Amino acid sequence: MGKTFLLLLISLVPVCAAFATDTVPCLPDGASQEAKNKAVAVRVFEEIFNQGKFQVADEIYAKDFVNHGLHRNANLQEDQAAVHAEKKAFPDLKMTVDLMVAEGDLITVVWTLRGTHTGSGIGFPPTGVKLELRGITVWRIDDGKIREEWTSFDQLRAARQFVTQLKWQLMGFLFVMVILGWAFCRAIRRLRRIQAAKATS
């Protein structure tokens, strides 16, 4: 009995020592890299879009960055010019991250954009339209820099929100155009009658 107890005690010593160590398990390198990539993605939304700190782009985008559009690609300069235009058109623009998933060097983000069109950055005067859009962006991040992007959102929904909120203004504009067109046609007919009368006299 004494020998059995002694053998049991000896066999348990290494196990107890293992539990008594004060080490914290380390995350695999891949997991920590994915966490760093997520932090880079968060900076795009929070610092560049929400706070308008455009200089941050120099820190987190690679010089050879490519935004893969549906019909054409954009380089870093074109991509950031579009961001500047959006922020100018929607000064209160706020982008929230709804979902973020990291796998290897890829980050996928589902986001929601909200803002009021009170600026002139998108090619036409301010309308006061309140826009809300959901989209998805995939980035490839290499060595802490964003190198590639794929973004998609419902452009038809954006157009529909403009039309819905501006329907009375658009209807008024169309009404004015119809009246002007009618008046112009009437004036042309009258001018032709006068010219015809002069020709016969």
The whole-angstrom separation of Cα 162 and Cα 82 is 19
The answer for residues whose C-beta is within 8 angstroms of residue 107's C-beta and 6 or more apart is 37, 38, 40, 41, 100, 101, 138, 139, 141
What would the pLDDT profile of 23-74 be if each residue is shown by its tens digit? 444 445 556 999 999 999 999 999 999 999 999 999 999 999 999 999 999 9
Which pLDDT does position 181 carry in this prediction?
73
Q: How far apart are CA 53 and CA 113, in angstroms?
A: 17
Identify the weakest region by mean pLDDT among 49-58, 109-118, 175-184: 175-184
How far is residue 135's CA from residue 70's CA, in Å, rounded to a whole number?
14
pLDDT at residue 160 in the model: 87
- Output the pLDDT for position 6: 42
pTM: 0.66
pLDDT higher at 120 or 91: 91
What confidence category does residue 139 fall into, taking pLDDT thresholds of 50, 70 and 90?
A: very high
